[in-house]
Structure 1
Amino acid sequence: MITLKQLLTSLDALLEVENYQDYAPNGLQVEGKKNITKIVTGVTASEALIEKAIELNADAILVHHGYFWKNEPVTITGMKKRRIEKLIKHDINLLAYHLPLDGHMHLGNNVQLAQLLDIKINGEIMPLVLHGEFERPMTWQEVSQLLHDRLDRVPLHSGGNVSRLIKTVAWCTGGGQGFIDKAAEFGVDAYLSGEISESTVHIAREMGIHFFSAGHHATERYGIKALGEWVKNNFGIEVIFVDVDNPA
């Protein structure tokens, strides 16, 4: 067993939340039980994840995507009301870590994705955008197959006019497609993110870089999973990762 205060203090320090200006509050978002023996982790605090946590009799939910985002309605109505009502009724804590979990250099989404894809990390192009290299040069079709095999997603590829093989790569999980121009200017062969925008296709073609969109959810499963394992190993409590699938 661990107290809520102990868990929050440890996670806030581990993820260095004070170093991030984020789009939503990091840490405790909805307060529940003071003592925690079981945690459910997942990418997003959807109603389906909450219902699974209730079924498993969890004391806390730990996610990457929580609530109270900037520019969303502040009223607790509709979908938000139903979610929060279930958390409060069952006395379940909701903890969320967004950018701090993206950027952590051991447990973070970017680092975990690199490990999954066997990419050697060479450094940062800018905060939250890493660069590295594959062990050997690959065709874009081979990279697409690798993403399919490791992430269970068929990625969307742009930059089919680029003839060179892919050795160097930059990436930012989730909604990081807007950094493609920085990756192209840096000089890597390919850029990988979760999402794609209409403009991303044109940038890939015109700046001569391969681009792969592999899914916001699919690229961000692994940070929260690693964070849950860290909690389990350090505090000896039960942690269960629940993958509520999302094709986006």
Structure 2
Amino acid sequence: MADLKSIVQFLDESLNTCGIPDYPGAMNGLQLQNNGEVTKVASAVDASLPVIRKAVEAGADMLIVHHGLFWQGAQRFVDAQYSKIKEAMDANLAIYSSHIPLDVHPEWGNNALLAKSIGLENAESYHDWKGILLGVKGIVSASLDELVAKVTDAVESPVHVCKGKSDGGVGVVGVITGGAGSEVAAMANQGIQTFITGEGPHWSFSLAEELGINVIYAGHYASETFGVRELSRVLEKKYELNTQFIHHPTGL
């Protein structure tokens, strides 16, 4: 058993929760407390009602997510939103969320772990966003088809590919997980020749072709399972807790 306050303090300090900018609805950190005791930690991408119910069924008393309870902004506690809070509180389930702080963490982050899984070499941070560097770029020793296979294996899900680079090569590879597909023009301006992200708007495919860069759309959900899984492993080791990843894919 571990103390909730101790876990939250460790995560907040390690992830630099207060120092990393984010979208207003992210509300990074502890979003719902419990009685103060933690014996089992569940992790998931989204704090959706089905996920909360699965965490309760698994006997977890702490749930760590990437997209938290307030992602759509302020909402009335009615219908599904009411059920989320009531069922979590009835089960003594604390909920902790980390979005951009987890994306950009150099060891536990979605970007770093996806980049590592595909063999990105000479990795360095890039792409300024609100005063921080949001992505990771480097070189992958592979053809485009080989890189696509690596990404597919890493995210354990089919990917969608825009083969925009005319010579069929890979070049400099940039990784920004989640919904960064709208940044295609910014990627081209920064010398990225193959961009790996989760999803993008329809027009991002056509623009990538016109700009001559490859884009691998790995899935928003699939590209963001890395960080929460890793946080579970970190807490399991540090606090000797039971942990479980709750897989609830959206297919997007």
Compute the TM-score of the two structures, normalised by the length of structure 2.
0.91
In the TM superposition, residue 231 of structure 1 has moved relative to its aligned partner by 0.9
Q: Within 5 Å, which residues of 2 pair with 1:88-127?
A: 88-126=89-127, 127=133
In the TM superposition, residue 137 of structure 1 has moved relative to its aligned partner by 3.8
Unaligned runs of 5+ in 1: none
Aligned to 1:43: 45
1:19 aligns with 2:49: no
Aligned to 1:130: 136
Q: Within 5 Å, which residues of 2 pair with 1:30-179?
A: 30-69=32-71, 72-126=73-127, 127-134=133-140, 136-138=141-143, 140-160=144-164, 162-179=166-183
Secondary structure of the structure 1 residue equivalent to 2:113: helix
Is the 8 Å Cα contact of residues 165 and 193 (structure 2) preserved in structure 1?
Answer: no
Q: Distance in 1 between matches of 2:60 and 2:41?
A: 5
Q: Distance in 1 between matches of 2:247 and 2:59?
A: 17
Is the 8 Å Cα contact of residues 33 and 59 (structure 1) preserved in structure 2?
Answer: no
1:186 aligns with 2:190: yes
Tell me the percent identity: 27
Q: Distance in 1 between matches of 2:56 and 2:234?
A: 22
Q: Distance in 2 between matches of 1:137 and 1:188?
A: 16
Note closer, same or farther for the CA distance 1:121–1:43 as it changes in structure 2 (3 Å cut): farther
Is the 8 Å Cα contact of residues 114 and 121 (structure 1) preserved in structure 2?
Answer: no
Matched residue pairs, number? 245
Is the 8 Å Cα contact of residues 121 and 130 (structure 1) preserved in structure 2?
Answer: no
Q: Distance in 2 between matches of 1:245 and 1:225?
A: 14
Cα RMSD after superposing both structures: 1.6
Deviations 1:16-49 (A, max 9, x none): 0111222221111112121111111111112222
Q: Distance in 2 between matches of 1:92 and 1:48?
A: 14
Unaligned runs of 5+ in 2: 128-132
In the TM superposition, residue 117 of structure 1 has moved relative to its aligned partner by 1.4
**For residue 94 of structure 2, what is the amino acid of its counterpart?**
N
Q: Distance in 2 between matches of 1:137 and 1:88?
A: 49
Deviations 1:43-62 (A, max 9, x none): 11122221221112111111
Secondary structure of the structure 2 residue equivalent to 1:122: strand
Deviations 1:130-182 (A, max 9, x none): 10111x240x3332222223322221112446224114200100111122222
**For residue 113 of structure 1, what is the amino acid of its counterpart?**
L
In the TM superposition, residue 243 of structure 1 has moved relative to its aligned partner by 1.3
Secondary structure of the structure 1 residue equivalent to 2:244: strand
Secondary structure of the structure 2 residue equivalent to 1:141: helix
In the TM superposition, residue 189 of structure 1 has moved relative to its aligned partner by 2.0
Aligned to 2:216: 212
Secondary structure of the structure 1 residue equivalent to 2:124: strand
Is the 8 Å Cα contact of residues 27 and 97 (structure 1) preserved in structure 2?
Answer: yes
In the TM superposition, residue 73 of structure 1 has moved relative to its aligned partner by 4.3
Runs (4+) of structure 1 moved beyond 4 Å? none
Is the 8 Å Cα contact of residues 115 and 136 (structure 2) preserved in structure 1?
Answer: no
- Deviating more after overlay: 158-167 vs 117-126: 158-167
Secondary structure of the structure 1 residue equivalent to 2:18: helix
